[in-house]
Amino acid sequence: MTEFVEMMFVPLQELFEQFKAFLPGLFAMLVILVVGILLAKLIELILTKSLTAMKFDGWSDRMGVTTLMRKGDMWGKPSAVVGTVVFWLLTIVTLMGGMSALNVDAIDQLVAQFFGYLPRILSAVIVMVIGYVLTGFVSRAVLIATANRGFHYAKLLAEAVRFLLAVLIFAMVMEQLQIAPSIVLAAFSIVFGGIVAALAIAFGVGGIDAAKRVIERETMEKRAEEQKDEIEHL
């Protein structure tokens, strides 16, 4: 009977000892989590207020970031969205930090991998945001410049520029994230090279007459404009 009780008690005792050893780590994790989340909330609040004061929402409107958010069904103010994103990033970082306090090898490895990858995620996000803003700006500039000259395919050209830039940005983001970099590089080279080759063939061989007509018409229109329009606008 005593042996039977011991057989039951020893594992329980070992479990209790392990739990006792684990308890400070768990407690540390909880403290890290609570303090980390509170700090993250405070940073979110300060960041949102600062961005509002710096008129970040107006800038986002102008740059088309707000439109992108609306398309993605995000209806908050851009400053609030940035605040929320930063809050969750910090919360994830806090969670990882808290988990490493548990001193479990498997979790430690996971945490190390996460922190090793984090800079890549951040730089990919930055490339994506800057890329999106730049793409919108450049394609709109192309649209306006060509439309102001009466170009029939202005919208098509602007969309083509937007698409090409989006492909470029996508390749850059994938390269940052190190997701199948060799395949992405090869695919990008094939797509971009293919487009350029197609245009060269279309204009150089198949569309040589059409290209000639377009250039001649543009030149003639320009000449006619210079000769005929003598208005002084100012």
Partner 1 sequence: MDTAVLRAEVRAQLAQIGQADIVIGIPSYNSARTIGHVVRAVQAGLAKYFPEHKAVIVNADGGSTDGTMDVVRQSSVEDYKPIMLRERVEPIAKLAFPYSGIPGKGSAFRAVFEIARTLDAKACAVVDSDLRSITPEWIELLVKPVLEGGFDYVSPLYHRHKFDGTITNSIVYPLTRALYGKRVRQPIGGDFGFSGKLAQFYLSQDVWQSDVARFGIDIWMTTTALANDFKVAQSFLGAKIHDAKDPGADLSDMLYQVVSATFDLMERYPNVWMPIHGSEPVPTFGFEYTVGLEHINVDTSRMLHVFREASRNLGDMWLEILGNGDLREVERLASSDDESFRFPPGLWTRVIYDYAIAFHRQKMSAAHLIRSLVPLYIGKTASFVIEAQDMDQAEAEAEIEKLCKEFENEKDYLTTHWRQP
Q: List residues near partner 1 by CB under 8 A.
A: 55, 58-59, 61-64, 137, 140-141, 143-152, 154-155, 221, 224-234
- Least gap, CB of 59 to partner 1 (angstroms): 8
Residue 151: CB minimum distance to partner 1, A = 7
Q: By C-beta, is 59 or 188 nearer to partner 1? A: 59
54 φ, ψ to 5°?
-85, 10
**Residue closer to partner 1, measured from CB, 73 or 232:** 232
Minimum distance between the CB of residue 206 and partner 1, rounded to whole angstroms? 25
Considering only CA atoms, which of 110, 161, 133, 147 is closest in space to residue 60? Answer: 133
Task: List, in sequence order, the alpha helices (H) in the chain.
Answer: 2-53, 56-63, 65-71, 78-100, 105-147, 154-177, 181-201, 208-228
Whether residue 39 contacts residue 97, with contact meaning beta carbons closer than 8 Å, is answered with no
Q: Which amino acid is at 219?
A: T
> Which CB atom, from 52 or from 91, has the smaller least distance to partner 1?
52
Give the nearer residue to partner 1 in terms of CB position, either 42 or 149.
149
Whether the CB-CB separation of 51 and 82 falls below 8 Å is answered with yes
Contacts of 215 (CB under 8 A, 6+ apart): none
Least Å distance, CB 210 to partner 1, is: 19
Residue 218 CB, shortest distance to partner 1, in Å, is 12
Residue at token pair 């609306």: 70
By beta-carbon proximity to partner 1, the closer residue of 14 and 221 is 221
